[in-house]
A and B are shown apart, each in its own frame.
Chain A
Amino acid sequence: MLPEIVALNTSSSLSVPWWKVVYDFLPLTQWIDSSLHNAMSPFWTTVTEMLIIGVLILLFYALVGLFLVYAERKVCAFMQNRLGPNRVGPFGIFQTIADLFKLLFKELVPIKNADGFLFNLAPFIVIIASFMAIAAIPFAKGLHAIDLNIGVLYVIAVSAMGVIGVLLAGWSSNNKYSLIGAMRSGAQIVSYELSVGLAIITIVIMAGSMQLSVIVEAQRDGWFIFKGHIPAFIAFIIFLISSTAETNRGPFDLAEAESELTAGYHTEYSGIKFAFFFLAEYINMFIVASIAATVFLGGWMPFHVGPWEGFNHIMDFIPPFIWYIGKTFFVIFLMMWFKWTFPRLRIDQLLTLEWKYLLPINLVNVLIMAFIVLMGWHF
């Protein structure tokens, strides 16, 4: 289950000073693991660890969701000459928590003639898909729930599962707008999945591995976006476009398109079930931004320039977690920026963009990257 934790450290106390933990979480996780092993049998150790990690991720998930909603409202407010939430708490930071309670207490309106089972199942599928994807993301050195050797593939596969929930939601609502939204969403996500995959494959070719920790380590002396010449940059742009489309965010928010379809696939949902869709959208944004940060911008790896020893050393003082969060939120900010700037595309233009432009460019890009790696021309 947890490869890096299973490598046992038998000492019963933390092997490094406590403050160094922020630079490398491995000693801490190993210490927790060994303490648990000393206290109980291996089976119960694994169960306890799974519970701890599950609860921690759940907590992190909720916090990120709440924060992103707040961040989006603030960012969009400043782009629109407004102040945004500013009443509940200092700078309105508790606004989203208040909203959460409001949504929790709201009535779940039962829908006549809806397919009850699928209708209730859909939000859970959406949220579980995003929840599973978050498990494989390396947040900092050693802070990595599960380091699969096919990490990239896993994240793409699992996050694509969300489309099933969207399709089910649209179908089971028995609402015409929802159905159109769901069908649009299906076409859109399945198409853009290709571009997301190919853009990442460009980098996988360079890193020579699909394991996220290896990809991050490979960027020790320079992030891939700088190391990979132009193909890596093109891949980054394509990834940014197609991942925005994959998460159903503007200017590709055709599945919701409130000026056309009122709210698309989640028109009929109310209360906390609506909140699930809402939360999943933001977590999906966080996941794709994390992948972009990890694969293109070095993940938790500080900004290193090959031979500049002193500079690299100073950069190392900033904890990896801060680097990771900083990069992720930079990408999230970019996505918010163009959501609040661009008008929405039409469905045929959306598919034209993918199949006629992004996909061919991407395929050629992968070839060029393979050639560069083969010739050893990258930095």
Chain B
Amino acid sequence: MEEKVKDITSDEQQEYVINMGPQHPSTHGVLRLVVSLKGEIVKNIEPHIGYIHRGIEKMCESITYPQIIHLTDRMDYLSAHINNEAVCLNVEKALEMDIPDRIKVIRTIMSELTRIQSHQLWWASFGMDLGGLTCFFYGLRDREKILDIFEETCGGRMLVSYNCPGGVMYDIHPNFQKRVKEFIKYFRKILPEYDQLLSGNVIFHERSKGIGKLSLEDAISYGVTGPSGRASGFSCDVRKHEPYSAYDRIIFKEILHTEGDTFSRYITRIDEMWESMNIIEQLIDNIPEGPYSVKMKPVIKLPEGEYYQRVETARGELGVYIISDGNKNPYRVKFRSPNFVNLSVFNHITKGFKIADLVAIGGSLDLVIPDIDR
């Protein structure tokens, strides 16, 4: 009995432990955070992952390369197209294929559209995390326009599975160029509205500036990539450093901010939407003629060896590592998923802030849980 009393008064026991998730509105999926609090202040976060683990990497070992595409859709479902592209590029690299320009340009445009719609959904849910419920509907309203474009060309809206080794599944829809141009025109007008609703708001500035600071050293040592890393000044844009598809022939700048707080992560993503629109505008009128797909063998077999390809998804660097033993299915597949790495920095930057900041920081890291668990 006496021991029990002693325990309660000890410092460790005074921590107020709450379970955020697996069912919680602001964990954006089935992530469970065991949060130790002292009053409102966060002392420690322990992320428990694996609630949506489907064994995608293991499943890949028993299926063929074109089939893997459909599993990668289900990892980071908001950058489905870019995930597909990573696998396709890796397979094409292994087979030492020459990909026609038309395919490269189409893939780039689709990737950038994917990036915009992902950031739109992020903006919507980030606004909601901070309590601005109207943001959610604004973001989804505009995202719908991109999904409609996807639907017309790919047949799918979110999990498009549009890429296949050697090209894309179908040619672009005749309306594609027109509708993308319409969207760009529309979104250039609508994006300042996002700023009016959230970026310029005093409460928003108070809530996000100086919150969850991630220094450049920490960003590099934890391996935080994507907009979250670039907000800390970590130049990690794969599109720039190791161009793939058509990124080597267009002019765009890598968005870099140096503050590393929640606000600069926010601004980085907003700026990226502008930049993505620039990229699309450069390409949309210059889609070269040619085949939309290279004829492949019915059964794709990769030569024995190890292959690695990285791409820039909306959340950071996605690496696809394939070991092939010469069969029609890979010997081992490993995905370096950006969200898993970005999650690791969560505890480090949230310590000492309040519960409300925890939600804001979590939102600004833009975690997609199926990508963490795979």
From B16, B197, B201, B359, A259 is in contact (CB under 8 Å) with B359
List A contacts of B356 (CB < 8 A). Answer: 254, 257, 260, 344, 346-347
Within 8 A of B (CB), among A226-254: 250-251, 253-254
Tell whether A86 is near chain B: CB-to-CB under 8 Å. no
| A80-117 interface bits toward B, Cβ cutoff 8 Å, 1 = contact, 0 = none | 11100000000000000000000000000000000000
| B174-212 interface bits toward A, Cβ cutoff 8 Å, 1 = contact, 0 = none | 000000000000000000000001100101101100000
Q: A251-B203, A343-B132 are in contact. Are A262 and B24 (CB under 8 A)?
A: yes
List B contacts of A344 (CB < 8 A). Answer: 130-132, 203, 207, 356
Q: A251-B131, A258-B25 are in contact. Are A176 and B16 (CB under 8 A)?
A: yes
Which A residue's beta carbon lies closest to that of B211? Answer: A346
Tell whether B344 is near chain A: CB-to-CB under 8 Å. no
Determine if A345 and B206 form an interchain contact, defined as CB atoms under 8 angstroms apart.
yes
Tell whether A317 is near chain B: CB-to-CB under 8 Å. no
Determine if A341 and B131 form an interchain contact, defined as CB atoms under 8 angstroms apart.
no
List B contacts of A259 (CB < 8 A). Answer: 25-26, 128-131, 359
Closest-CB distance, B365 to chain A (whole angstroms): 15
List B contacts of A345 (CB < 8 A). Answer: 203, 206-207
Within 8 A of B (CB), among A254-301: 254, 257-262
Determine if A343 and B207 form an interchain contact, defined as CB atoms under 8 angstroms apart.
yes
Within 8 A of A (CB), among B284-302: none
Q: A343-B204, A344-B356 are in contact. Are A253 and B18 (CB under 8 A)?
A: no
Tell whether A309 is near chain B: CB-to-CB under 8 Å. no
From A79, A180, A261, A348, B134 is in contact (CB under 8 Å) with A79
Q: A81-B141, A250-B131, A253-B131 are in contact. Are A343 and B203 (CB under 8 A)?
A: yes
List A contacts of B137 (CB < 8 A). Answer: 80-82
List A contacts of B25 (CB < 8 A). Answer: 258-259, 262
Determine if A340 and B134 form an interchain contact, defined as CB atoms under 8 angstroms apart.
yes
Determine if B201 and A340 form an interchain contact, defined as CB atoms under 8 angstroms apart.
no
Closest-CB distance, A224 to chain B (whole angstroms): 28
List B contacts of A346 (CB < 8 A). Answer: 206-207, 354, 356-357
Rounded to whole angstroms, the CA-CA distance of A176 and B39 in the bound complex is 11
Determine if A342 and B132 form an interchain contact, defined as CB atoms under 8 angstroms apart.
yes
Determine if B18 and A177 form an interchain contact, defined as CB atoms under 8 angstroms apart.
yes
Chain B contact surface mostly? helix
Tell whether A349 is near chain B: CB-to-CB under 8 Å. yes
Determine if A257 and B133 form an interchain contact, defined as CB atoms under 8 angstroms apart.
no
From A80, A81, A177, B133 is in contact (CB under 8 Å) with A80
Rounded to whole angstroms, the CA-CA distance of A345 and B134 in the bound complex is 16
List A contacts of B204 (CB < 8 A). Answer: 343
Q: A81-B137, A260-B356 are in contact. Are A347 and B130 (CB under 8 A)?
A: no
| A124-162 interface bits toward B, Cβ cutoff 8 Å, 1 = contact, 0 = none | 000000000000000000000000000000000000000
Q: Report the interface size for chain B: residues with CB under 8 A from the other chain.
A: 31
List B contacts of A177 (CB < 8 A). Answer: 18
Which A residue's beta carbon lies closest to that of B35? Answer: A176
Q: Which of A81, A184, A260 has the most CB of B within 10 A?
A: A260
Rounded to whole angstroms, the CA-CA distance of A260 and B207 in the bound complex is 14
Rounded to whole angstroms, the CA-CA distance of A68 and B257 in the bound complex is 45
Rounded to whole angstroms, the CA-CA distance of A347 and B354 in the bound complex is 9
Q: Interface size for chain A: under 10, 10 to 19, 20 to 34, or 35 or more residues? A: 20 to 34
Which B residue's beta carbon lies closest to that of A175? Answer: B18
Closest-CB distance, B213 to chain A (whole angstroms): 16
Which A residue's beta carbon lies closest to that of B132? Answer: A343
Within 8 A of B (CB), among A52-97: 76, 79-82
List A contacts of B222 (CB < 8 A). Answer: none
Determine if B203 and A347 form an interchain contact, defined as CB atoms under 8 angstroms apart.
no
List B contacts of A180 (CB < 8 A). Answer: 18, 40, 355
Tell whether B127 is near chain A: CB-to-CB under 8 Å. yes
Tell whether B307 is near chain A: CB-to-CB under 8 Å. no
Rounded to whole angstroms, the CA-CA distance of A180 and B138 in the bound complex is 31
Which B residue's beta carbon lies closest to that of A263? Answer: B25
Closest-CB distance, A117 to chain B (whole angstroms): 25
List B contacts of A76 (CB < 8 A). Answer: 133-134
Within 8 A of B (CB), among A197-231: none
Q: Which of B18, B132, B197, B201 has the most CB of A within 10 A?
A: B132
Q: A81-B137, A259-B359, A262-B24 are in contact. Are A342 and B354 (CB under 8 A)?
A: no
Determine if A348 and B132 form an interchain contact, defined as CB atoms under 8 angstroms apart.
no
List A contacts of B131 (CB < 8 A). Answer: 250-251, 253, 257, 259, 342-344
Determine if B138 and A343 form an interchain contact, defined as CB atoms under 8 angstroms apart.
no
Rounded to whole angstroms, the CA-CA distance of A177 and B19 in the bound complex is 9
List A contacts of B357 (CB < 8 A). Answer: 346
Q: A176-B16, A257-B131 are in contact. Are A343 and B198 (CB under 8 A)?
A: yes
List A contacts of B134 (CB < 8 A). Answer: 76, 79-80, 340-341
Which B residue's beta carbon lies closest to that of A345? Answer: B203
Closest-CB distance, B171 to chain A (whole angstroms): 34
List B contacts of A343 (CB < 8 A). Answer: 127, 130-132, 198, 201, 203-204, 207
List B contacts of A340 (CB < 8 A). Answer: 133-134
Which A residue's beta carbon lies closest to that of B204? Answer: A343
List A contacts of B207 (CB < 8 A). Answer: 343-346, 349
Within 8 A of A (CB), among B332-374: 354-359
Within 8 A of A (CB), among B131-158: 131-134, 136-138, 141
Rounded to whole angstroms, the CA-CA distance of A311 and B359 in the bound complex is 54
Rounded to whole angstroms, the CA-CA distance of A259 and B357 in the bound complex is 11
| B107-138 interface bits toward A, Cβ cutoff 8 Å, 1 = contact, 0 = none | 00000000000000000000111111110111
Determine if B133 and A260 form an interchain contact, defined as CB atoms under 8 angstroms apart.
no
Within 8 A of B (CB), among A320-379: 340-349
Determine if A341 and B141 form an interchain contact, defined as CB atoms under 8 angstroms apart.
no
Determine if A260 and B18 form an interchain contact, defined as CB atoms under 8 angstroms apart.
no
Rounded to whole angstroms, the CA-CA distance of A114 and B369 in the bound complex is 33
Q: A177-B18, A180-B355, A348-B354 are in contact. Are A260 and B26 (CB under 8 A)?
A: yes
Determine if B201 and A342 form an interchain contact, defined as CB atoms under 8 angstroms apart.
yes
Closest-CB distance, B187 to chain A (whole angstroms): 15
List A contacts of B24 (CB < 8 A). Answer: 262
List B contacts of A261 (CB < 8 A). Answer: 355
List A contacts of B197 (CB < 8 A). Answer: 341
| A168-207 interface bits toward B, Cβ cutoff 8 Å, 1 = contact, 0 = none | 0000000011001000100000000000000000000000
If A259-B131, A349-B203 are given as contacts, then 20 extra A-B residue pairs at C-beta distance below 8 Å, sorted by A number, are: A76-B133, A81-B141, A251-B203, A253-B131, A254-B356, A257-B356, A259-B129, A259-B130, A260-B359, A341-B132, A343-B127, A343-B201, A343-B203, A344-B130, A344-B132, A344-B203, A344-B207, A345-B203, A345-B207, A346-B354
Q: List 6 A-B contacts (CB under 8 A).
A: A80-B136, A80-B137, A340-B134, A342-B203, A343-B201, A346-B357
The 4 closest A-B pairs by CB, nearest first: A344-B131, A80-B137, A343-B130, A343-B132
